[in-house]
Structure 1
Amino acid sequence: MSAIFKKANTAVITGGASGIGLALAQKCIGYGMRVLVADWDAQALGKAGETLGSAASTVRMDVSKLEDWSGLKDRVTKEFGGQINLLALNAGVSAKTAFDGEGADPAAFQRILNVNFLGVVNGILTLLPLVKEKATATTTSDYKAAIVITGSKQGITNPPGNPAYNASKAAVKSVAEQLSFDLRGLSNVNTHLLVPGWTWTALAGAGSGREKPEGPWTPGQVVDYLEAKMGEGRFWVVCPDNDVDEETDRRRMVWAAGDAVEGRPPLSRWREEYKGEFGEWMGRK
């Protein structure tokens, strides 16, 4: 999959005007790729266009709307001849949600699920036919493609506090797994689930005037890690950060899966009666 990042290949990146999406677009352009950046934020999109230069084109769209995806498909056909070597379904939003009190807003639940989940599904349904058409054409036997879907650790370990966001990212994980399985017969198309750690993006406070803490990675570090794992052909791209290493992530995920297997109550990691047992588990060699 190192053949993805090379001159004259193409990339379509949603949520590409800032954060991880913008860093990925910059990496692609650094390799001489052509890039189409899609985002809802018109101001950020304008700045991204200036930053990325002539190798990138931009489109303002709402990933939750199929009609906007139809317009994007037309752009891909017109500008790239229908060729997509890297499809990064990265757009996402967050808001505080809860089942009562502050955050108990049905509109917030809907918006998060529409963007984070349906935004990925819409992208797959609209653009996967183009990817598969190129992948199976005999005249393009050297064609390589990758579909990168941005998930979240919250969609795996499900920490309490934001049910809509967690549910959206859990659904994204499920869809990515299904897509990887469905495409198993195409040796020249890989699927990757990007699971960032703590990353210094707008969702974490970047751009607010605050100084970056020591703990989070930069978006560029996440994208470098993604490139390395893509080169290894890995589906799971679970990123560490400066506070949480890979082993800690693995243990947390195994513990979360153990709730069902061991018959513990859900989210046991955060329950008072399991704090001691969880602490022992995390400390085992």
Structure 2
Amino acid sequence: MPHPAIAPERTAVITGAASGIGLAAAKAFVRAGMKVAIVDRTMEGLASARDELAALAGSDERVVAAACDVTDRQGMERTAAHVGRTLGPVHVLMNNAGIQPGSSIFGEQAQWDAVLSVNLGGVITGTRVFGPAMMAHGEPGLILNTGSKQGITTPPGDPAYNVSKAGVKAFTEALAHELRTREGCRVGAALLIPGFVFTGLTARGRQEKPEGAWTPEETVAFMLERLEAGDFYILCPDGEVSRNMDEKRIAWAAGDIVHNRPPLSRWHPDHAQAFRDFAARED
């Protein structure tokens, strides 16, 4: 059975929905008979997405586009009120907005501030703005937050992004516990952990999708399949990395603590070969 919150005549809100995974999710929800509100920073970015979704829905009245910065608490509150007036109670909230301008430990402060405020702050703000009303209406609900494998294995190269996505993981785990321990609460939570997905965020000047990357549509199809199965951690493979390899990378990262290895030992000269041997081992 599909997730009970994803059903005809219910309402979904997706941030970062002008393109990529957010837009693909909006299309999937429209196909499921839902009403959809798409949120992104500017109406210029949202206009074509809204037209495409309205055509898919067969009605302008089933799709709302709202320009809002997810770091703006008051703006998000106004957006929530607007969605409530036009589409009704929200059943699915997908906190998906994210940026990745690049970062270094001692790099520009503005990059750290932007990444943390959007990638982590936007998830927290979206949940805290929409969540209370979702719990209050008493119908099945779902808060779906977009994380990243980089927030779990934290590879070197972009620490601000890693920190933001590690925060999304910790926040979503705490949210799931909070929701399941509230008496009578029918809202659940899930963490989407994409693989290599070809979007505007990852294209970096490339026009054609790399062979190993998934499309946003493939990622969303996998997400819906795993939501139907009841997963909290929606760990997506791709054309380059299998589920088995993801599990080994995650286990090794946790093992750095358990075995008191140096941090990020996968990339440490004294331990890199041991990881390669571990990854090659057939379980």
* TM-score (structure 1 length as normaliser): 0.93
Partners of 1:110 and 1:86 in 2: how far apart?
Answer: 28
Amino acid at match of 2:66: V
Partners of 1:144 and 1:231 in 2: how far apart?
Answer: 14
Map residues 91-240 of structure 1 onto 2, 5 A cutoff. Answer: 91-100=97-106, 104-135=107-138, 143-185=139-181, 186=184, 188-205=186-203, 208=205, 210-240=207-237
How far has the Cα of 1:209 moved from its partner? Answer: 5.8
Superposed CA offset, 1:138-162 (max 9, x none): xxxxx21111000000000000011
Farther off after superposition, 214-223 or 43-52:
43-52
Contact 1:152 1:195 in 2 (8 A): yes
Partners of 2:128 and 2:5 in 1: how far apart?
Answer: 21
Partners of 1:42 and 1:58 in 2: how far apart?
Answer: 8
Superposed CA offset, 1:118-155 (max 9, x none): 101111111111111012xxxxxxx2111100000000
Amino acid at match of 1:98: S
Superposed CA offset, 1:239-269 (max 9, x none): 0001101010000000001101100010000
Find the partner of 1:255 among 235, 252, 255.
252
How far has the Cα of 1:187 moved from its partner? Answer: 6.1
How far has the Cα of 1:4 moved from its partner? Answer: 2.6
**SS at structure 2 position matched to 1:272:** coil
Superposed CA offset, 1:179-211 (max 9, x none): 0000113563221100000001001118x5621
**SS at structure 1 position matched to 2:270:** helix
Contact 2:135 2:186 in 1 (8 A): no
Partners of 1:41 and 1:253 in 2: how far apart?
Answer: 36
Superposed CA offset, 1:18-71 (max 9, x none): 000000000011111100000014322111111111231100000011011111
Partners of 1:41 and 1:283 in 2: how far apart?
Answer: 46
Cα separation, partners in 2 of 1:91 and 1:5, compared to 1, 3 Å: same
Count of residue pairs the alignment pairs up = 273
**SS at structure 1 position matched to 2:103:** coil
How far has the Cα of 1:117 moved from its partner? Answer: 0.6
Determine if the alignment matches structure 1 residue 76 to structure 2 residue 74.
Answer: no
Structure 1 portions without partners, runs of 5+: 136-142
**SS at structure 1 position matched to 2:94:** strand
Identity %: 37
Map residues 274-285 of structure 1 onto 2, 5 A cutoff. Answer: 274-285=271-282
Partners of 1:134 and 1:85 in 2: how far apart?
Answer: 9
Cα separation, partners in 2 of 1:109 and 1:171, compared to 1, 3 Å: same
Q: Corresponding residue for 1:6?
A: 7
**SS at structure 2 position matched to 1:58:** strand
* TM-score (structure 2 length as normaliser): 0.93
Superposed CA offset, 1:60-117 (max 9, x none): 0000110111111211221233x111100000011111124xxx10001000000011
Structure 2 portions without partners, runs of 5+: 55-59
Q: Corresponding residue for 1:139?
A: none
Map residues 53-92 of structure 1 onto 2, 5 A cutoff. Answer: 53=54, 54=60, 55-81=62-88, 83-92=89-98
Partners of 2:185 and 2:70 in 1: how far apart?
Answer: 28
Contact 1:63 1:69 in 2 (8 A): yes
